[in-house]
Amino acid sequence: MAAAPDSEQQSSVSMEEMVSLCARRGFIFQSSEIYGGANGFWDYGPLGVELKNNLKALWWQYMVRRRDDVVGVDTSIIAAPRTWEASGHVESFSDPMVDCRACKKRFRADHLEGVAPCDSREGTSEHDFTEARDFNLMLSTKIGASVAASADAYLRPETCQSIFTGFKRVRETARQKIPFGIGQIGKAFRNEITPRNFTFRSREFEQAEMEYFIHPSEQDKSFDYWLDQRERFHKGIFKEENLRLRAHADDELAHYCNNARDVEFLFPFGWQEIEGIHDRGDWDLTRHSEFSGKDQSVTNEQTKEKFMPMCTETSMGIDRTCLAVLVDAYEEETMEGGETRTVLHIHPALAPIKVAVLPLSKKLSEPAQVIAENLRKRFNTAYDASGNIGRRYRRQDEIGTPYCVTYDFDSEEDGAVTVRERDSMTQDRVPIDEVGEYLRIRIEADPWE
């Protein structure tokens, strides 16, 4: 796992503003909040789930659907425990941990800067730390009713291992030849010692991973290619100044990794990783061949060469990227006349609600509702008839709705509505029977063109 160094540089929005907006508008809030929460676990509300689903759909579209050399899978969270011995996670997937003998709190030994002072020692606020020791990050559970050790299992700490264990079956059933890739989006779990920075470091999170299998001679070329691809993906949804690539130093590389670059985003707490691009070599397929006794190598049908494929991995955190989308989009803007608005400039492809229909007066509700119902067949559409029109625009701006459609008294006469665009606040008069197509062209615009 990569521990990117915190940077002095920070984004302009504070974490407090972000957390408050997320809770207030129902994007993301504490899990089991009424019981005081569960540390490191988060719930996505009605807007958050839309944002998350849109991000997953965008990734799937870009990485799987648009290509004929990548196929998708959806595998189980719990795998045969041998999987994690073979992958090296039982032995090596750990962070250094220290305990304070006085307050009994536990910390990551490499994250001690800025920790809260000890409140249990007389005459000093300094902690009384134990020696650092390794703490395995895998969350364990028991399968079935047995208490025997044979029933022990792990919740997967990364989604990719079942891509490796299913490699042969997927390749054969999808009739793919090397080079090809397998993508998956799913939950992963890590018993982080100190979950922090909102959803950034949590104990339950989602990953979007793709493992691309190549001939050994293509290893470097493939790494460079996927680095470019992933950079392009992120540039489609983020401001360029909030993105950078960072190469891992040798002592940072995970146990399976020969080479790694992080895609980093400028969070309120500095530059941090949202995705890793890894050269995993033949580590996984070789280890699974050894541990399962089932050879995972492939034979080139033409040349008859037998080889163990190498693998380039792209591994994006869905939750971290959602948080980055919100931070990137957030702006407190002063408008003409001095009024301020909070606005999320989210790309329309990711925006939770694509369009809000607003009748200028409650008297116009009936025809406005008909328009909303029609739009709802195509886009996630909100309908809001309460409060003055300015306030209603502000409510939509704050959650990133790219278009508002206003039905006014003239609409009765000219059969048209006003479409207001979130970022520029410009307004177009559009005939009602053309408004669906007007919005479609703009909402479905490709982020990468």
CB of 92 to ligand GAP, least distance (A): 12
CB of 268 to ligand GAP, least distance (A): 16
Of 13, 44, 54, 401, which is closest to residue 242 (Cα–Cα)? 13
Task: HSE, CB side, 13 Å, CA atoms: give it for residue 59.
Answer: 26
d(CA 49, CA 52): 5
Provide the sign of the torsion angle of the four alpha carbons 289, 251, 92, 182, taken in this order: negative
CB of 14 to ligand GAP, least distance (A): 20
User: Nearer to ligand GAP by C-beta: 211 or 384?
Assistant: 211
CB of 366 to ligand GAP, least distance (A): 46
Q: Check residue 234 and give left, alpha or beta (phi > 0: left; psi -120 to 50: alpha).
A: alpha
User: Nearer to ligand GAP by C-beta: 190 or 354?
Assistant: 190
CB of 15 to ligand GAP, least distance (A): 15
Contact set with ligand GAP (CB under 6 A): 1-2, 158, 160, 190, 192, 201-202, 205, 207, 209, 273-276, 313, 315, 317, 319-320
User: Nearer to ligand GAP by C-beta: 192 or 384?
Assistant: 192
User: Nearer to ligand GAP by C-beta: 160 or 435?
Assistant: 160
Cβ-closest position to ligand GAP: 317
Provide the sign of the torsion angle of the four alpha carbons 228, 231, 232, 233, taken in this order: positive
Residue with tokens 């895998």: 138
User: Nearer to ligand GAP by C-beta: 98 or 188?
Assistant: 188
Tell how far CA 162 is from the center of its chain. 20
CB of 182 to ligand GAP, least distance (A): 13
Tell me if the bond preceding 5 is cis, omega within 30° of 0.
no
Q: Which residues pair with 106 in a beta bridge?
A: 99
Please, are residues 440 and 410 in contact by the beta-carbon 8 Å criterion?
A: no
Please, are residues 351 and 54 in contact by the beta-carbon 8 Å criterion?
A: yes
User: Nearer to ligand GAP by C-beta: 231 or 319?
Assistant: 319
